[in-house]
Structure 1
Amino acid sequence: MKTDEQHVAEPGLVVLDITAADEDTLRTVMDGLQQRWATSGIVPVRRLPGEPGVRARVYADVYRSGTR
């Protein structure tokens, strides 16, 4: 996946590509991130054929706090 320039256009904006062994672990990580920072939330999980684990891409603003 290509990173769009707008997603990292200013300080504090990050793109996180996360890989985990299973969907439950991945969702737990995404939930923890959204509690700490303003993020794109729980996003769809992807599987790449022939590669282990599951993946997700999360966008976050580390200068803004999460919603919880």
Structure 2
Amino acid sequence: MNLINEVHVQEPGLVVVDVAAADAATALALQDALAAQWATAKADRVTRDPGQPGVRLRCYVDLRQPLGS
């Protein structure tokens, strides 16, 4: 995965979530679960790292938003 950009964590409550999962459906399901609770900048695809098992996904979450709103 790429380095984390400072702007994505410049304030308390901003989170970068790196996900490793067995398949794209699982990674995207986790991302959807996060987005159902908090404002989330969703990834539109997963990546595969050569020689590594599974897939990876990065999304950005704003925890400052109240749960479930």
What SS does structure 2 have at the residue aligned with 1:64? coil
How far does residue 32 in structure 1 lie from its aligned partner after superposition?
Answer: 0.2
Structure with the largest fraction of strand: 1
TM-score by length of 2: 0.88
Q: Is the 8 A contact 1:7 1:15 kept in 2?
A: yes
Counterpart CA distance in 2 for 1:66 and 1:23 is 26
Deviations 1:14-65 (A, max 9, x none): 1010000011111110100000110112432000011001000010101115
Match of 1:57 in 2: 58
In structure 2, the CA distance between the partners of 1:36 and 1:60, relative to structure 1 (3 Å rule), is same
TM-score by length of 1: 0.89
Match of 1:9 in 2: 10
Q: Report runs of 4+ in structure 1 exceeding 4 Å deviation.
A: 65-68
Instruction: Count residues in correspondence.
Output: 68
Q: Percent identity?
A: 44
**Structure 1 gap ranges (5+):** none
Counterparts of 1:30-41 in structure 2, within 5 Å, are 30-41=31-42
Counterpart CA distance in 1 for 2:66 and 2:59 is 15
| Matched letter for residue 17 of structure 1 | D
